[in-house]
């Protein structure tokens, strides 16, 4: 009786925290402190004694790694020094649902994220607008998809470039290295000179200054960056790749993937996901 009362109180407290702090910044101070693996009725209050248990790099904390130059999904707020964005809100809410704090590691290059999760020991999850692909699924597990996406070709306003004219050895088409945009160029513009770089802002600046003829990048990022920082660039073509973003988790930690999926499912049914979509995209997607 005493035990079940205290567990019930814990669940209520965890629920109250999740409700009140759903959009709190990741990496900031969080009030959750539980490290139990789940709050379902059948679970034990001890992670080690539960079949649902998972491992964490740091007890009580969901440690996140990302490439933090991909607005509106993840970027550094220069004022606060904290990461912000759609993905940051999503993973922060996931951590809240799991009764965990959430901490970001320093910025990493995009093409190191999947290898880093595969290798283990540094971060529990990577959320970085990562498209679920067969190749990546050989290295890591993914959560259920949390957002649909496509690609865009970006060029200077007034440009006469098309997919056909870009497919020429004299054309420099930039992308972020190791991305699905990089793959798309290799497959669909085999004659163009594909230039993979680390940083999206540098790539777009290069399109602006004429260093590159075009960039291929995720459509929501193109839309956001062009509206907010690169008004002299245009989306010359939207490419319906039908991609879906997932959260990357080690194959050695299948119960963490299950717990993250449970949190995502709860966020879809209780309206948290809708409110995060509305916050960043003005409407649900
Ligand atoms: N969605 C793209 C991919 O997974 C780009 C992700 C990114 O640059 N953060 O390759």
Q: Specify the pLDDT at position 22.
A: 34
Q: Position of tokens 């964490």?
A: 56
Same domain, 196 and 234: yes
Q: Specify the pLDDT at position 51.
A: 83
Which numbered atom of ligand 1 lies nearest the CA of 183?
10
Q: How far is the CA of 70 from the centre of ligand 1 (A)?
A: 9
For residue 5, tell me if it sits in a domain.
Answer: no
Which numbered atom of ligand 1 lies nearest the CA of 128?
9
Same domain, 142 and 52: yes
Condensed to tens digits (0 to 9), the pLDDT of residues 262-279 reads 999 999 999 999 999 999
Same domain, 33 and 124: yes
Q: Specify the pLDDT at position 285.
A: 72
Same domain, 125 and 266: yes
The answer to whether residue 32 scores a pLDDT higher than 70 is no
The answer to whether residue 208 scores a pLDDT higher than 90 is yes
Q: How far is the CA of 30 from the centre of ligand 1 (A)?
A: 28
Same domain, 174 and 63: no
For residue 56, tell me if it sits in a domain.
Answer: yes
The answer to whether residue 259 scores a pLDDT higher than 90 is yes
Residue 210, sorted as left (phi over 0), alpha (psi -120 to 50) or beta, turns out to be left
The answer to whether residue 77 scores a pLDDT higher than 70 is yes
Same domain, 117 and 256: yes
Q: How far is the CA of 242 from the centre of ligand 1 (A)?
A: 13
CA distances (Å), origin 223, targets 162, 202, 268, 272, 275: 18, 16, 25, 24, 20
The answer to whether residue 5 scores a pLDDT higher than 90 is no
Same domain, 156 and 201: yes
Which numbered atom of ligand 1 lies nearest the CA of 74?
9
Q: How far is the CA of 6 from the centre of ligand 1 (A)?
A: 44
Same domain, 264 and 195: no
Which numbered atom of ligand 1 lies nearest the CA of 245?
1
Same domain, 159 and 136: no
Same domain, 102 and 231: no
Same domain, 231 and 181: yes
Which numbered atom of ligand 1 lies nearest the CA of 131?
4
Which numbered atom of ligand 1 lies nearest the CA of 133?
4
The mean pLDDT of the chain is 87
Nearest CA to ligand 1 atom 5: 179
For residue 219, tell me if it sits in a domain.
Answer: yes
Give how many domains the chain has, as a whole number.
2
Q: How confident is the model at residue 149 (pLDDT cuts 50, 70, 90)?
A: very high
CATH code for position 219:
3.40.190.10
**Pocket of ligand 1, beta carbon within 6 A:** 67, 70, 110, 128-131, 176, 179-180, 218
Nearest CA to ligand 1 atom 10: 179
175 close to 203: Cβ distance less than 8 angstroms: yes
Give mean pLDDT, residues 41-63.
Answer: 73
The answer to whether residue 153 scores a pLDDT higher than 50 is yes
Please state, in angstroms and rounded to a whole number, the distance separating the CA atoms of residues 30 and 17.
9
Q: How far is the CA of 218 from the centre of ligand 1 (A)?
A: 7
Of 140, 218, 239, 248, the residue with max ligand 1 atoms within 8 A of its CB, to mutate for a pocket test, comes to: 218
Instruction: Report residue 189 CA to chain centroid gap.
Output: 27
For residue 62, tell me if it sits in a domain.
Answer: yes
Query: In percent, how much of the chain has pLDDT > 70?
Result: 82
Q: Specify the pLDDT at position 31.
A: 36
Q: Which domain holds residue 186?
A: 150-243
């Amino acid at each position: 009786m005493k035990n079940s009362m205290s567990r019930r109180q814990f669940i209520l407290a965890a629920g109250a925290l999740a409700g009140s702090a759903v959009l709190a910044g990741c990496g900031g101070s969080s009030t959750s402190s539980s490290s139990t693996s789940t709050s379902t009725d059948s679970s034990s209050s001890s992670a080690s004694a539960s079949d649902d248990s998972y491992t964490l790099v740091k007890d009580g904390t969901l440690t996140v790694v990302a490439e933090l130059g991909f607005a509106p999904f993840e970027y550094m707020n220069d004022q606060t020094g904290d990461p912000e964005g759609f993905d940051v809100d999503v993973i922060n809410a996931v951590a809240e649902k799991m009764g965990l704090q959430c901490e970001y590691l320093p910025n990493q290059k995009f093409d190191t994220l999947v290898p880093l999760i595969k290798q283990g020991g540094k971060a529990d999850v990577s959320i970085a607008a990562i498209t679920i692909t067969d190749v990546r699924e050989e290295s890591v597990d993914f959560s259920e998809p949390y957002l649909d996406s496509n690609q865009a070709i970006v060029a200077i306003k007034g440009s006469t470039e098309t997919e056909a004219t870009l497919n020429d050895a004299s054309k420099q088409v930039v992308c972020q290295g190791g991305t699905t945009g990089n793959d798309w160029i290799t497959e669909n513009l085999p004659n163009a000179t594909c230039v993979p770089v680390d940083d999206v802002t540098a790539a777009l600046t290069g399109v602006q200054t004429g260093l590159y003829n075009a960039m291929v990048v995720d459509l929501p990022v193109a839309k956001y960056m062009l509206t907010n920082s690169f008004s002299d660039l245009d989306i010359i073509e939207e490419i319906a790749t039908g991609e879906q973003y997932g959260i990357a988790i080690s194959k050695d930690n299948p119960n963490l993937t299950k717990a993250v999926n449970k949190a995502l499912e709860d966020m879809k049914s209780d309206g948290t996901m809708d409110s995060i979509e509305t916050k960043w995209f003005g409407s649900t997607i």
